[in-house]
Amino acid sequence: MNAYEEYMLGIVKPMREELVNVGFTELVTPDEVADHVQESKGTSLVVINSVCGCAAGLARPAVAAALEAAEHKPDHLVTVFAGQDKEATAQMRSYFEEVLPSSPSIALLKDGQLAYFIPREQIEGFAMEQVRDHLAGVLDQVCAK
C-alpha cells in the first residue's frame, strides 16, 4: 500500500464507521456484493457511500434517522464505498444499470432486484429531514410484508 492509499484509509474510516455503527455491513469486494445480491432474500437497503459533503451532512445522517423513523425495516443493510472500493461499487451498480451512477445514492433491492433508487440529485440540496422522510416513506412501502 502506498502512502496515498494509507492516508485515504485513515480519512474515510469514520465515514465507513458511521454506517457500520447503525448496523450496515460493508461489502468491499465484487464477490461480497455478488454473494449478497444473489443469496439475500427480502429487502436490502444499499447505501453507495462517498467522501463528499452531501454524504456526510445529508445521506448518512438521513439513512440512520430513516431507519429509526420507518415502521417497516429492510431485512439487510449493506454499503459500498464509491471511490474507495471501486470494484465492489461497480459490481453493485451492475445490478441497477438502468439508473445513472451517482454517489452518494441509496438503493432498495427486493430479492436482488431494484425496487427503488434515490440518486444524488434527490439528496444534495435537500434538507436532511426531507431525505429522511423520503427514505422512511419508501421503506414503509417496499418493506411492508
Please identify every residue annotated as catalytic: 52, 54
Residue among 50, 48, 37, 102 at smallest CA distance from 76 = 37
Angle, to 10 degrees, between the axis of helix 60-69 and the axis of helix 3-20?
Answer: 20
Which residue stretches of the chain are H helix? 3-20, 30-39, 53-54, 60-69, 86-93, 128-142
Rounded Cα gap, residues 124 and 145, in angstroms: 31
Q: What are phi and psi of 27, to 5 degrees?
A: -110, 110
